[in-house]
Amino acid sequence: MKERHKQIRAEYGLPAEPPKSEGGIRCDLCSNECKMIAEEFFENSAPPVLTATTLLVPFYVDDKEVENIANKQLLL
């Protein structure tokens, strides 16, 4: 079982051994009860995780722009 787990983890670019980070979040996807912290997840994800942030300044953007951002229809 552990050998198969290592193979599957390798396919996703993850370390062979499941993480056991103190204070981590329990993984419900496998029987090994992995614990992952956010940094480990983002560092080892394939494809890499892309995040974007938008600074919302009061009275600088209008309601329509906020709605478009929320709907991922950015106006450039």
Give the pLDDT confidence of 11-47 residue by residue, as tens digits: 777 777 766 777 766 666 665 556 555 556 666 666 6
Domain ranges in the chain are 2-50
Q: Taking a C-beta distance cutoff of 8 angstroms, is the pair 23, 37 a contact?
A: yes
DSSP class of residue 71?
A: T
The whole-number average pLDDT for the span 69-73 is 67
What is the rounded distance in angstroms from the CA atom of residue 74 to the CA atom of residue 76?
A: 6
The model carries a pTM of: 0.30
With vertex at residue 53, the alpha carbon angle to CA 20 and CA 41, rounded to the nearest 5 degrees, is 15
Q: How far apart are CA 20 and CA 7, in angstroms?
A: 18
Quickly count: other Cβ atoms within 10 Å of residue 27's Cβ: 14
